[in-house]
Structure 1
Amino acid sequence: MKTYGSEPGAPSPVQVGISELAVSEGDDTLKSYGLGSCLAIALYDPDSEIGGLAHAMLPDGDAAEHNSDRKPGKYADTAIRALLRRMVERGASYTDVEAKIAGGSDMFEFDSFGDGVGKRNVDAAKAELEKLGVPLIGEDVGGAHGRTVEFTPGTGRLVVKTSDENESSVSEL
């Protein structure tokens, strides 16, 4: 899935938008912008260098009313299952897959709704990963700030850029 920009030989990142997911391999870069309460879920197999990134918007697809017409990337639980399935179809070993997550901020407080969507997204992803036996080896979640992530399947490197009105930072998981 190599795509090239204006610089000769320079790969362009593959954008993974809200409710989308993508699977790739090697040095490809998968990128998601503007994560607030949404959750970026990065799965990868270090041996095959196959990985995927999902930009999940909501926690529980199994409980969704209209789940027959949903995008699997829309929900944390179904995004994880879809990523795993697509990765294995491309040659990843299910038992070697590891996970990293970022996002899940609670940008706004609504006391009447209990836990915010961001926290529920994080909890749903962790529960699904545990249920499927996929180890979570890195996370940058919560808070009240936006994030952008860049994921490289070949190395499992997840770069998280954080920004709020006072400061910006970059971390690597």
Structure 2
Amino acid sequence: MHQIVVNISDMKMSTKPEDVIVTYSLGSCLGVTAYDPKAGVGGMVHCLLPSAAAAREKAKMNPYMFVSTGVASMVRCLIEAGAERKRLIFKAAGCANMRNDTLFSTGKRNFEALQTLLDKNNVQLTSYEVGGTIPRTLFLYMDTGRVVVRSFGEETEL
């Protein structure tokens, strides 16, 4: 297996079955995977903040920083690589409240932004693991589309 690492405010995709796409240390950030099982095309985005509304220039430079622009940008890339939008399976993890963040509630707002975006486009999350106070590592196995969340040595399949 060949690991492809997704950094914060980043997106990676693949069409190779031997690849595993991974992002580490999802705290309040949101990790989203999308996978087309027929085309064998998948990707993962690691979004830092919910909305680009107040930071349009930053979003132009890096759309993956924001849920509102990053998920859509990832989907466009996957479609260009041969995926069909209607076949994409979406899963998500992260959005924790890592530092008792009651002032900004970044994790909660990130997940709300994702739900709003998906609702607007009539798309459902197949599964997710969000909230709480734990960091998560997210894996997308390109050979099967399997998505795994690891936290403190324990793994859960989404």
Distance 2:93 2:142 in 1: 15
Q: How does 1:27-106 map to 2 (within 5 A)?
A: 27=17, 28-67=19-58, 69-106=60-97
Q: What is the percentage of aligned positions where both structures have the same residue? A: 33
Q: Mean alpha-carbon deviation: is it higher for 119-128 or for 13-22?
A: 119-128
Question: Secondary structure, in 3 states, of the residue corresponding to 1:73?
Answer: helix
Give unpaired runs (5+ residues) of structure 2. Answer: none
Distance 2:67 2:46 in 1: 8
Distance 1:169 1:19 in 2: 25
Q: Return the index of the structure with the highest Cα Rg.
A: 1
- Normalising by structure 2, report the TM-score: 0.91
Name the Cα RMSD after superposition.
1.6
Q: Which residue of 2 aligns with 1:21?
A: 11
Structure 1 ranges of 4+ moved more than 4 A? none
Contact 2:26 2:136 (8 Å CA) reproduced: yes
Q: Does 1:170 align with 2:155?
A: yes
Distance 1:49 1:86 in 2: 14
Question: Secondary structure, in 3 states, of the residue corresponding to 2:2?
Answer: coil
Distance 2:26 2:123 in 1: 23
Question: Secondary structure, in 3 states, of the residue corresponding to 1:43?
Answer: strand
- Normalising by structure 1, report the TM-score: 0.84
Give the Å deviation of 1:12.
2.3
Question: Secondary structure, in 3 states, of the residue corresponding to 1:60?
Answer: coil
Q: Which residue of 2 aligns with 1:7?
A: none
